[in-house]
Structure 1
Amino acid sequence: MSEEKLYAVKNEEGKYCDCEYEKFLPLSESYCPTMVSEDNAKAIVNDYGGHVVTFIEEPKKVVLTKEQAKIIEVAHGCVWPARYITDHSDNSNGLEELLMNAYVNGYTVAKEKKYNVKVPHTKEVWYYKSGDTDLLTIFPADKELRGKFTESEIEHYGLQDCEKEEVTDDEV
């Protein structure tokens, strides 16, 4: 998060001091309502009244795995969320701090990478899923249509030793 801040002066009526015209206007009508100096904002308050409003950059959301996101979801329902996060994370690798940041600043769940998986010892034959348990083979022209596996699916089907190529979002 950036340490740079913007300041404005707002009065009791909800209007902002326009630095260009030196009068309070609705925000939508104000030409220059912000400044980079807190001291200047305080000087305006002394001269014209109102109070200083600080604008700060919104922190970026933390990217979590599904398992980490579940910890945050449960923590939001706890009486002592920090304790729940501490009890369910390993602080030695920085996970606790990551989860605390996610709790406070929000989070997104990382998309699982997907792969096309090649049948071993063939030139151009690839696997695809048919139902929950069946694997069938296809040729390269069809692999973009149906051959996408997550890491957990590759493990489930025992395809860890197979050649794989990552599928990007624009290919999905």
Structure 2
Amino acid sequence: MSEEKLYVIKSRSDDEFYFSGDRVIPNWSDNLISHFKNYEIAKEIAEENNGQVVTLIEEPEKVVLTKEQAKIVRGAHNDKLPACYISSKSDDEELLMNAYVNGYTVAKEKKYNVKVPHTKEVWYYKTFDGDLLAICPADKELRGKFTEAEIEQYGLQDCEKEEVTDDEV
């Protein structure tokens, strides 16, 4: 979440109005799109218009979830009792309720190059058919990139693995 704050100007009188850039808006509305990023400028304009500076509340940061957790939150949105739904599906109630309310993103799965045991530079890769083959290129781009689930599926848990960074994917 950005550390930068946003400001609008509110009247000091009983007649509530908000000042947005070059116009006065009688009531707070969704079409209030202008705001001030600089407090000093907002303060100066507020003083000229007998107003006060009000800090806008920033949007909460989205929660990062696994695919399985995201599926539960999506299911909760379709349920009449979302809290009960989440509670019945997971022990991470607080995290998932936070995601339900504030939004979420799904974490990217880490990927790994997996080395064939007892070899110098031989690495596994998957074929289009899902078969597991070995290749010995020096070029990392030709190595297979495996998720943790795929490593378990192919029975490669005991193999040496090397995490693939985003710039290598």
Q: TM-score range by the shorter chain?
A: 0.7 to 0.9
* Higher helix fraction (1 or 2): 1
Percent identical among aligned pairs is: 65
Aligned to 1:61: 62
How far off its partner does 1:29 sit?
9.9
Q: What one-letter code is carried by the residue in structure 2 that aligns with 1:16?
A: F
- Taking a change above 3 Å as real, the CA distance of residues 123 and 5 of structure 1, as seen in their structure-2 partners, is same
Task: Write out per-residue CA displacement over residues 105-132 of structure 1, whole angstroms, 9 at most, x where no aligned residue.
Answer: 0000000000000000001100000134
How far off its partner does 1:9 sit?
1.4
Is 1:108 matched with 2:105? Answer: yes
Aligned equivalents of 2:128 and 2:9: distance in 1? Answer: 60
* Aligned-partner SS, 1:140: coil
- Taking a change above 3 Å as real, the CA distance of residues 33 and 79 of structure 1, as seen in their structure-2 partners, is farther
Aligned equivalents of 2:56 and 2:35: distance in 1? Answer: 19
Is 1:130 matched with 2:133? Answer: no
- Taking a change above 3 Å as real, the CA distance of residues 34 and 58 of structure 1, as seen in their structure-2 partners, is farther
Q: What one-letter code is carried by the residue in structure 1 that aligns with 2:19?
A: Y
Aligned to 1:44: 51
Q: What one-letter code is carried by the residue in structure 2 that aligns with 1:161?
A: D
Aligned equivalents of 1:85 and 1:161: distance in 2? Answer: 35
Aligned equivalents of 2:133 and 2:144: distance in 1? Answer: 10
The count of aligned residue pairs is: 151
Task: Write out per-residue CA displacement over residues 63-108 of structure 1, whole angstroms, 9 at most, x where no aligned residue.
Answer: 0000000000010011111111111111xxxx11000100000000
Aligned equivalents of 1:27 and 1:164: distance in 2? Answer: 50
Q: Structure 2 length as normaliser, TM-score?
A: 0.73
Is 1:70 matched with 2:62? Answer: no
Q: 2:19 aligns with which of 16, 21, 39?
A: 16
Query: Do 2:7 and 2:35's aligned partners in 1 also have CA atoms closer than 8 Å?
Result: no
Query: Do 2:20 and 2:34's aligned partners in 1 also have CA atoms closer than 8 Å?
Result: no
How far off its partner does 1:44 sit?
2.9
Runs of 4+ residues deviating >2 angstroms: 4-8, 23-35, 140-143
- Taking a change above 3 Å as real, the CA distance of residues 17 and 159 of structure 1, as seen in their structure-2 partners, is closer
How far off its partner does 1:134 sit?
1.2
What is the RMSD of the two structures over their aligned residues, measured on CA atoms? 3.6
Aligned to 1:153: 150
Aligned equivalents of 1:27 and 1:6: distance in 2? Answer: 11
Query: Do 1:128 and 1:143's aligned partners in 2 also have CA atoms closer than 8 Å?
Result: no
